[in-house]
Structure 1
Amino acid sequence: MRSTRVDAATGAVRPSRASGGGELRSVKTRTITRADLDLTEFSFGGAPLGNLYQEINDDDAASTLDAAWEAGLRYFDTAPHYGLGLSERRFAAGLSARPRSEYVLSTKVGRRLIPRESGPLGPDPDFAVPASHKRVWDFSRDGILRTLEASLTRLGTDHVDIVYLHDPDDHWEEAASAGFGTLDELRSQGVVRAIGVGMNQSAMLTRFVRETDLDVVMLAGRYTLLEQGALDDLLPAALERNTAVVAVGVFNSGLLSQPRPAPGAKYNYADAPAELVRRANDIADVCERHRVTLPAAALHFPLMHPAVVSVAIGMNSAAQVERNMDLYALTIPADLWDELHEVGLVRRTA
């Protein structure tokens, strides 16, 4: 299938060659216009390779990245937070044989890893890894440079293309001043191509977009088939300021990842409230009437907004890559979106 390149600002569509020998791939790309940087609109989120929720072995991590590459994905996102550096190390191993110029790589700063000095290592509270390091919030210039240098070492590369400030919810003053200023300096020096902020909320991301000079933001969970609060603030601001949006958490921590919400389904990394489970089932009813699955609609939904340049999904097996590629390859009938609007399950301005 012929791939295309879609300019996020103009909507122009043009042919695009994916990496790897000039073969035309089926994954489209969209452009962060401020940085003239192309991202595959379906991309790879690295948290599961840091053992999020469950432990996987190195071989499974490698086969997952191999499957993603073979499927045509060329944007890979990670962070030191993901498994205390494990995700970054696995990216290094899995991408080391790939030409560095043929994919886009991003990581994050603001959570500096400090080795634990003594005592037995218990489990990390967030990932299935030993708690060998502690995370310290640090958006200072020195902290960001130290964190990025350590990431480059773990990633086995001399540069990343995008650097995000990671979850600065309680650190606006330092993140918006020293944090942004440091990233702006790295961008102006050509050390990184694009700079941004990644958060689970849209309000502060909107403030960053309006008050600083970002290229891209990573929005987790706030513009999905289940909820569209970012329509009130972030997405209009992103269009106005020509700031690209990478949508993550589009399955809302798993609530939308199956044709029907599974028992014990999560939302925002906790047990899903009954009201949201009912809403997800109502959306699934509509999807089934149009012969579309709930996760297929959830994957495609954010990509319909002109500010969104990519949807990043975390995966920890080759089977998950294949399944999500199958969802991405589907054509969603317009009648599905029309009915979701009509019955009030998706906002009409979405």
Structure 2
Amino acid sequence: MRHRKIENRPVELTELGFGASAMGNLYRITSAQEATAAVDTAWAGGIRYFDTAPHYGLGLSEHRLGAALKNRTREEYVVSSKVGRLLVPNERPRGVDTEGFVVRDDLRRQWDFSRDGVLRSIEATLERTGLDRLDIVYLHDPDDHWRQAAEEAMPALADLRDQGVIGAIGAGMNQSAMLARLLRETAADVVMLAGRYTLLDQSALDDVLPAATELGKSVVAVGVFNSGLLSRDRPAEGMKYDYQDAPPDLVTRARAIAEVCERHATTLPAAAIAFPFTHPATINVTLGMRNPEQVARNVELHGRHTPEDLWDDLRAQGLIRADVPVDRPAAAGRGPHLDSEDARGRSSPCP
């Protein structure tokens, strides 16, 4: 699988990444065996970038990901986690977590973007994963915490990066406006953009993507199925869009895009994975993966050829914005493609 490099940082990501939220029992229980098998399948498919967070299952995802990677050569893979939600003892447990993860709530999340909170969070993540370092650390959903995130958390991460403790730093959010500010006003190298540069929403073209281009920074795209509406060949009523029931007009639009995809001998989910790479700032698409079957399907979808004239057709029909760039992923020297052998052993920034 091809690798792409975070601009101006010594970290390379495979084009497809493994999102480990389901390893934390997101929405339903995933067994430890199933979680490990999913990572094994991802590895066999060439995936070498794995993303997790303390938020995912109150640390369960980090525990499981670390265990699944334990016997792999550390220099061959990249791991990112996040800061901003410290896990602290829950004085009033109800038995089950209330934020979508099927786990006991002996711990609770506490917002904290202070310097001390960042350092404590990273230390706890390293303990849960058993890793000696993190390659990328993101601020996790700092929407309501701009001042502390920008003035305390990001400088703390920048110090760790400059000391060589972390390879790259950034933020992950469901909005693009604040991500653009973080790129422009802080030391962030890369942002994890959720759902704002997809076949149904190209609003990131107004802020974060031009910021990344101008400043020589990078974007990791997540949420490319917009919570499910773009995940099937033929979208149906009742499917989700941004965590809610999809409005009828969006279902109709998704169906129209699917029909164009079929005429170009591809499918809607394959095009959804390929689409973020139309912008040269995008270096990776990370997908949530629960089991080996999902992993195998996503690897196969990513590997399909997407004809460039598909985007031309979608532009011409007004189904995507006219200013979506022409699909030249390696243009202007950004996000260089590296084959697996060239990149092997160089995906980690630290010796």
Q: Same fold (TM over 0.5)?
A: yes
Identity %: 57
In the alignment, what sits opposite 2:192? Answer: 218
In the alignment, what sits opposite 2:146? Answer: 172
Provide the C-alpha distance between the structure 1 equivalents of 2:92 and 2:320, rounded to a whole number of angstroms. 52
Provide the C-alpha distance between the structure 2 equivalents of 1:119 and 1:322, rounded to a whole number of angstroms. 38
Question: Structure 1 length as normaliser, TM-score?
Answer: 0.90
CA contact (8 A) 1:139 1:178 kept: yes
SS at 1:313's partner residue?
Answer: strand
CA contact (8 A) 1:124 1:130 kept: no
CA contact (8 A) 2:84 2:111 kept: yes
What residue identity is the alignment partner of 1:103?
Y
Structure 2 stretches lacking a partner, 5+ long: 325-351
Return 311-320 or 261-270, whichever deviates more.
261-270
- Within-5 A mapping of 1:44-63: 44-63=18-37
In the alignment, what sits opposite 2:182? Answer: 208
Which structure has more relative contact order (CA 8 Å, sep 6+)? It is 2
- Within-5 A mapping of 1:148-163: 148-163=122-137
In the alignment, what sits opposite 1:306? Answer: 280
Return 150-159 or 128-137, whichever deviates more.
128-137
In the alignment, what sits opposite 1:236? Answer: 210
Provide the C-alpha distance between the structure 1 equivalents of 2:93 and 2:171, rounded to a whole number of angstroms. 35
In the alignment, what sits opposite 1:117? Answer: 91
In the alignment, what sits opposite 2:323? Answer: 349
What residue identity is the alignment partner of 1:334?
E
Provide the C-alpha distance between the structure 1 equivalents of 2:307 and 2:94, rounded to a whole number of angstroms. 55
How big is each residue's C-alpha offset from its partner over 1:62-99, in whole Å with a ceiling of 9 and x where there is no partner? 00000001111011110000111111011011100101
CA contact (8 A) 2:45 2:299 kept: yes
Aligned residue pairs, count: 324
Structure 1 stretches lacking a partner, 5+ long: 1-26
Work out whether 1:187 is the aligned partner of 2:161: yes
In the alignment, what sits opposite 2:334? Answer: none
Provide the C-alpha distance between the structure 1 equivalents of 2:233 and 2:93, rounded to a whole number of angstroms. 45
Provide the C-alpha distance between the structure 2 equivalents of 1:342 and 1:62, rounded to a whole number of angstroms. 44
Provide the C-alpha distance between the structure 2 equivalents of 1:252 and 1:203, rounded to a whole number of angstroms. 18
Provide the C-alpha distance between the structure 1 equivalents of 2:280 and 2:257, rounded to a whole number of angstroms. 23
SS at 2:28's partner residue?
Answer: coil
Provide the C-alpha distance between the structure 2 equivalents of 1:300 and 1:118, rounded to a whole number of angstroms. 45
How big is each residue's C-alpha offset from its partner over 1:27-46, in whole Å with a ceiling of 9 and x where there is no partner? 10001122121110111111
Provide the C-alpha distance between the structure 1 equivalents of 2:186 and 2:93, rounded to a whole number of angstroms. 43
CA contact (8 A) 1:201 1:222 kept: yes
RMSD between aligned residues: 1.1
Shift of residue 146 of structure 1?
A: 0.8
